[in-house]
Amino acid sequence: MVVPLGGDGFMLETIHRVLPLRLPVYGMNCGSVGFLMNTFNEDDLPERLTHAQEAVLYPLRMQATNDKGQEREALAFNEVSLLRQLRQTSKIRVTVDGRVRLPELMCDGIIISTPAGSTAYNLSAHGTIVPLSANLLPLTPISAFRPRRWRGALLPSTAQVLFQVLEADKRPTAAVADFTEVRDVITVQVREDRSISITVLFDPDRALSERIIAEQFTV
């Protein structure tokens, strides 16, 4: 197993780096928030690792095409976000499983997150927190201008989502999967990829599923 020492950002980076090795990851917090981490303590570490509880995380797979027709794929264990690049709002069409759900969303951006990532950027954008076992993907706008009162949606984990950037020359938009950025995108397809997984380990008193539920009652 791998034991990274750092914050949530380094934990996320470690997950991506060790993914091909299929090793479980037990993070210890040396950063600020440490939501994905355990308390840092070197004492009795082998015993803690033996009794750690598993949480299996599945990534989102992003397929982005830019204005030059170049394609880029990336995985996201937290979220895929579309973000405006300049002063103009982005204008995005949202299609779910082949059906147009929002013909035109004017916004600073939009996020689709995993359950594990629902407490990160998604929560900051006032998105819904989703338990690990819910098989749901939160879809959350960032500062939606039109439709003004649209708060987002909860999609089944089997959903295939297509984002189409409208007026891309006037309203350039970037797509980000965790820390992989593709600028000037035209289309972005996102789906959960259950053929890939990572096992993250937690102390029994810091189980990820419990902490995600508890976060919904944090004042």
pLDDT band at 191 (very low <50, low <70, confident <90, very high): very high
Chain centre distance of CA 103: 24
Determine contact, residues 55/210, Cβ cutoff 8 Å: no
Question: Could you read off the pLDDT of 157-172 as tens digits, one per residue?
Answer: 999 999 999 999 999 9
- SS3 assignment, position 167: coil
Catalytic status, residue 67: no
Question: Could you read off the pLDDT of 48-103 as tens digits, one per residue?
Answer: 999 999 999 999 999 999 999 999 999 999 999 999 999 999 999 999 999 999 99
Q: What angle do CA 168, 172, 178 make, to 5 degrees?
A: 120
User: What phi and psi values does residue 78 have, to the nearest 5 degrees?
Assistant: -100, -70
Separation CA 30–CA 13 (nearest Å)? 15
- Asked if 23 and 68 sit in the same domain, the reply is no
Determine contact, residues 10/72, Cβ cutoff 8 Å: no
Chain centre distance of CA 6: 19
Domain that holds residue 41: 5-57+197-215
- Asked if 53 and 106 sit in the same domain, the reply is no
CA nearest to 4, candidates 74, 16, 152? 16
User: What CATH number is given to the structural domain containing 52?
Assistant: 3.40.50.10330
- Asked if 108 and 85 sit in the same domain, the reply is yes
Amino acid identity, position 153: A
CA nearest to 161, candidates 114, 126, 112? 112
CA nearest to 8, candidates 84, 124, 88, 119? 119
- Asked if 79 and 186 sit in the same domain, the reply is yes
pLDDT band at 215 (very low <50, low <70, confident <90, very high): confident
CA nearest to 31, candidates 55, 14, 11, 52? 11
> Is 148's pLDDT higher than 90?
no
- Asked if 75 and 150 sit in the same domain, the reply is yes
- Asked if 77 and 19 sit in the same domain, the reply is no
User: What CATH number is given to the structural domain containing 117?
Assistant: 2.60.200.30
Select which of 8, 108, 178, 193 is catalytic.
8
> Is 32's pLDDT higher than 90?
no
DSSP lists the bridge partners of residue 161 as: 96, 190
